[in-house]
């Protein structure tokens, strides 16, 4: 009887240990490197510097010489930053977590497959439903799996930068001027 109980306990312990193992995607996920606004933050294959954070009700910019005006019922959270792939040509992904909600950017001035060693400075704008009390920017390189689905580059880094959100939104912000 003691052998049966010992075997059952060992089987339960082995099952518990097996359930604690990370999946392949979890173990290959980007390692998060945290920085601050104004700080040059480097990961394995990317470097990011957040220069400024602004809020606006309306953003304007030019698209192939045509002026564009985009308004929102919420606010545009605009992040001015520099991005540099360090080892190979990469495509950056910018995600914002604001008040516990995750947003992707419909407006980014960064090139896809940016060449390594060349720093790009531009803006990323996120449309948020209200002025957030807290926000964090996450930047990582993306790749595609064998079926063409986008995913974070495995065994790479992700840069996380907590943002100081301005208390009030500007009535209008020109993204072209903000980037320079």
Q: What is the pLDDT of residue 160?
A: 96
- Is residue 165 within 8 Å of 130, Cβ to Cβ? no
pTM of the model: 0.81
Average pLDDT, the chain: 88
Tokens of 64: 């192939």
**DSSP type of residue 113:** T
Map out the domains of the chain with their CATH numbers.
32-179 (2.60.40.1240)
Closest to 159 in 3D by CA, of 29, 31, 25, 27: 31
Closest to 41 in 3D by CA, of 98, 106, 86: 86
Rounded Cα gap, residues 62 and 177, in angstroms:
11
**CA angle at residue 20 from 16 to 26, to 5 degrees?**
160
Per-residue pLDDT tens over the stretch 40-98: 999 988 999 999 999 999 999 988 889 889 999 999 999 999 999 998 888 898 999 99
């Amino acid at each position: 009887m003691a052998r049966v109980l010992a075997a059952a306990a060992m089987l339960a312990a082995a099952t518990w240990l097996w359930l604690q193992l990370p999946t392949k995607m979890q173990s290959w996920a980007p390692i998060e490197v945290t920085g601050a606004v104004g700080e040059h933050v480097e990961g394995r294959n990317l470097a990011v510097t957040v220069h400024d954070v602004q809020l606006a009700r309306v953003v304007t910019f030019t698209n192939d010489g045509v002026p564009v005006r985009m308004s929102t019922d919420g606010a545009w959270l605009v992040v001015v930053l520099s991005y540099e792939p360090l080892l190979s040509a990469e495509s950056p992904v910018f995600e914002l977590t604001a008040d516990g909600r995750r947003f992707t950017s419909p407006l980014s001035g960064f090139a896809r497959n940016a060449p390594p060693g060349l720093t790009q400075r531009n803006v990323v704008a996120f449309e948020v439903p209200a002025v957030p009390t807290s926000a964090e920017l996450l930047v990582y390189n993306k790749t595609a799996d064998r079926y063409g689905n986008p995913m974070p580059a495995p065994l790479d880094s992700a840069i996380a930068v907590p943002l100081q959100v301005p208390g009030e939104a500007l009535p209008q912000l020109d993204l072209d001027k903000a980037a320079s």
